[in-house]
């Protein structure tokens, strides 16, 4: 059983805003900055994705936060406090870090890997063990695997352990550098969904690096599109970036340009929607969890519907911890779209509602599927969308 103390540590209060203030990095005596006067504010509890071409400075920008790379100029504040004023070794332990190659210690068991930072911080044995057990459960790993070595786990399981290890000491900030880059597409999708569910519960401030725009759009509350030299081309919500790319570089990167205009000529019904895992009031939550575990689930949260299959809201991880599905879901429904809506308006509704996805209803108000910013982004990137359109339609503005 986790102690009171450990349970408290998981509350959402343990997240801090991160502010880059003209943070600059020049490696060695290079005259060109790898990251040039980066200024960016990441609100506490949000996922900020840094996305951009290889070598544009994403990893450098991220590593300046925990000072595994030392800044040349400028500053980074965590919860208002400069990282420069912090002891670098201590700072490193207080910030969760997940790297692409996972980096588990091969000769330590899974449990010992997860306990690494608490041990460094001098936690008592019982507290460390309780926290380790709690995290193994949180990431959905069989407790028996705790005694195995990393090589005895699948890539996806190892990746989960990497996330658990980074979360172990309840960090104020999480740095995740292409955390799912080495995983096959099907498992990557599953890990992304798992992480989003976990994040809805733990509410960490997360810096997430990827070079995949679709992953950025799926995972980010905000996205910083970076260009060569660590300059931010645009910093906005996923929907804003799709609707109104700041310049040609961003347009090219999201594959928008002409395809965006095509959205004005399409209806929601013209695109393949996602199927929502449905949940009914009073249904055992075990049944809903079983649905979520299925590999073809694309929406990370279950949609609560009434007996007529009319959407009521989204269930959270907390809702799912009860025995039966509650009548009042944790999260409001958000925008409800209609199959006949014009795609560009649907995207605008998502933008307005600051939502990553929304339920789509048919004429009777029954659930017809789910439209996500990710579906639109994939559509914009597809060759089909890039074909020239005859109708002249203006560029949408926010
Ligand atoms: N230790 C280093 N010494 C010198 N130059 C470096 C060092 N690390 C990175 N660089 C240079 O700084 C620039 C930014 O590198 P960085 O690793 O931050 O890019 P990135 O956006 O993370 O790229 P990728 O997507 O390939 O991981 C690159 O030009 C790189 O060559
Ligand atoms: Mg990198």
Q: How far is the CA of 55 from the centre of ligand 2 (A)?
A: 7
Q: How far is the CA of 181 from the centre of ligand 2 (A)?
A: 11
Task: Give the distance from CA 36 to its chain's centroid.
Answer: 25
In this structure, the chain runs to a length of: 398
Could you report the per-residue pLDDT of 99-117, keeping only the tens digit for each? 766 678 889 999 999 998 8
Which of the listed residues 184, 217, 236 is the one where a domain comes to its end? 236
* Residue nearest atom 1 in ligand 1 by C-alpha distance: 27
The contacts of residue 191 (CB under 8 Å, 6+ apart) are 156, 159, 160, 179, 180, 183
Q: Are residues 42 and 113 in the same domain?
A: yes
Domain assignment of residue 307, yes or no? yes
Q: Are residues 151 and 218 in the same domain?
A: yes
- Taking residues 335-359, report their average pLDDT: 88
- Taking residues 179-186, report their average pLDDT: 78
Own/partner pairs for 212-215, CB < 8 Å, 24+ apart? 212/51, 213/51, 213/253, 213/254, 213/255, 213/377, 213/381, 214/374, 214/377, 214/378, 214/381, 215/49, 215/180, 215/188
Q: Which of 28-42, 184-198, 279-293, 306-320 has the weakest average pLDDT?
A: 184-198
Domain assignment of residue 157, yes or no? yes
Q: How far is the CA of 95 from the centre of ligand 1 (A)?
A: 21
Which of the listed residues 236, 251, 284 is the one where a domain comes to its end? 236
Q: Are residues 204 and 303 in the same domain?
A: no
* Residue nearest atom 4 in ligand 1 by C-alpha distance: 27
Q: Are residues 193 and 76 in the same domain?
A: yes
* Residue nearest atom 17 in ligand 1 by C-alpha distance: 59
Q: Residue 395 above 90 pLDDT? A: no
The CATH number of whichever domain residue 359 belongs to comes to: 3.10.580.10
Q: How far is the CA of 54 from the centre of ligand 1 (A)?
A: 8
**Ramachandran quadrant class, 71 (left: phi over 0; alpha: psi -120 to 50; beta: rest):** beta
Is any ligand 1 atom within 6 A of the Cβ of residue 190?
no
Is any ligand 1 atom within 6 A of the Cβ of residue 29?
no
Ligand nearest to the CA of 225: 1
Domain assignment of residue 29, yes or no? yes
Q: Are residues 99 and 139 in the same domain?
A: yes
Domain assignment of residue 391, yes or no? no
The CATH number of whichever domain residue 151 belongs to comes to: 3.40.50.300
Domain assignment of residue 395, yes or no? no
Q: Which of 70-74, 150-154, 350-354, 391-395 has the weakest average pLDDT?
A: 391-395
Q: Are residues 175 and 287 in the same domain?
A: no
pLDDT at 392: 35
Residue % of the chain over a pLDDT of 70: 90
Give the C-alpha separation, 365 to 363, whole Å: 5
Q: Are residues 199 and 56 in the same domain?
A: yes
- Taking residues 351-378, report their average pLDDT: 90
Ligand nearest to the CA of 229: 1
Q: Are residues 175 and 43 in the same domain?
A: yes
Q: Are residues 200 and 101 in the same domain?
A: yes
Which of the listed residues 221, 236, 251 is the one where a domain comes to its end? 236
Domain assignment of residue 260, yes or no? no
Q: Are residues 151 and 278 in the same domain?
A: no
Ligand nearest to the CA of 55: 1
pLDDT at 396: 38
Q: CA separation (Å) from 84 to 21, 76, 89, 166, 383?
A: 12, 8, 12, 22, 47
Q: How far is the CA of 177 from the centre of ligand 2 (A)?
A: 7
Q: Are residues 11 and 154 in the same domain?
A: yes
Helix (H, G, I), strand (E, B) or coil at 371: strand
**What is the Cα Rg of the chain in Å?**
22
Most informative mutation of 27, 29, 227 for ligand 1 (most atoms within 8 A of CB):
27
What's the domain range around 140?
Answer: 4-236
pTM across the whole model: 0.75
Is any ligand 1 atom within 6 A of the Cβ of residue 53?
no
Domain assignment of residue 31, yes or no? yes
Ligand nearest to the CA of 52: 1
Q: How far is the CA of 99 from the centre of ligand 2 (A)?
A: 9
Q: How far is the CA of 247 from the centre of ligand 1 (A)?
A: 24
Domain assignment of residue 178, yes or no? yes
Q: Are residues 30 and 118 in the same domain?
A: yes
Question: Closest ligand 1 atom, CA of 209?
Answer: 22
Question: Closest ligand 1 atom, CA of 35?
Answer: 14
What domain count does the chain have?
2
pLDDT at 8: 33
């Amino acid at each position: 059983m986790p102690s009171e103390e450990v349970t408290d540590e998981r509350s959402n209060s343990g997240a801090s805003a991160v502010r880059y203030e003209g943070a600059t990095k020049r490696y060695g005596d290079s005259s060109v900055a790898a990251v040039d006067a980066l200024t960016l504010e990441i609100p506490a509890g949000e996922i900020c994705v840094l996305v951009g071409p290889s070598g544009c400075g994403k990893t450098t920008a991220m590593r300046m936060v925990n000072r595994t790379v030392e800044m040349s100029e400028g500053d980074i504040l965590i919860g208002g406090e400069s990282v420069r004023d912090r002891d670098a070794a201590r700072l490193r332990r207080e910030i969760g870090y997940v790297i692409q190659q996972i980096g588990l210690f091969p000769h330590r068991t899974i449990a010992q890997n997860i306990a690494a930072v608490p041990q460094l911080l001098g936690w008592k044995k019982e507290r460390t063990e309780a926290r380790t057990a709690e995290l193994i459960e949180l990431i959905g790993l069989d407790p028996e695997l705790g005694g195995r070595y990393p090589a005895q786990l699948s890539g996806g399981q190892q990746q989960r352990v990497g996330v658990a290890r980074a979360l172990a000491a309840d960090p104020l900030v999480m740095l995740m550098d292409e955390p799912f880059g080495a995983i096959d597409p099907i498992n990557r999708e599953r890990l992304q969904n798992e992480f989003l569910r976990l994040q809805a519960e733990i509410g960490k401030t997360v810096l997430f690096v990827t070079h995949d725009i679709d992953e950025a759009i799926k995972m980010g509350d905000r996205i910083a599109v970076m260009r060569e030299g660590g300059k931010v081309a645009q910093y906005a919500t996923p929907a804003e970036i799709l609707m109104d790319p700041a310049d040609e570089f961003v347009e090219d990167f999201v594959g928008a340009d002409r395809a965006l205009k095509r959205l004005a000529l399409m209806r929601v019904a013209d695109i393949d929607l996602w199927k929502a895992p449905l949940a009914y009031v009073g249904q055992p939550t075990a049944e809903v969890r079983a649905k979520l575990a299925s590999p073809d689930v694309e929406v990370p949260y279950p949609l609560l519907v009434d007996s007529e299959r009319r959407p009521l809201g989204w269930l959270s991880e907390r809702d799912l911890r009860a025995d039966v599905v509650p009548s009042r879901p944790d999260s409001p429904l958000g925008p409800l779209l209609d199959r006949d809506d014009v795609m560009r308006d649907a995207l605008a509704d998502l933008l307005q509602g600051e939502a990553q996805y929304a339920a789509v209803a048919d004429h009777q108000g029954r659930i017809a599927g789910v439209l996500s910013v990710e579906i639109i982004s994939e559509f914009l990137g597809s060759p089909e969308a890039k074909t020239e359109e005859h109708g002249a339609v203006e560029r949408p503005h926010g």
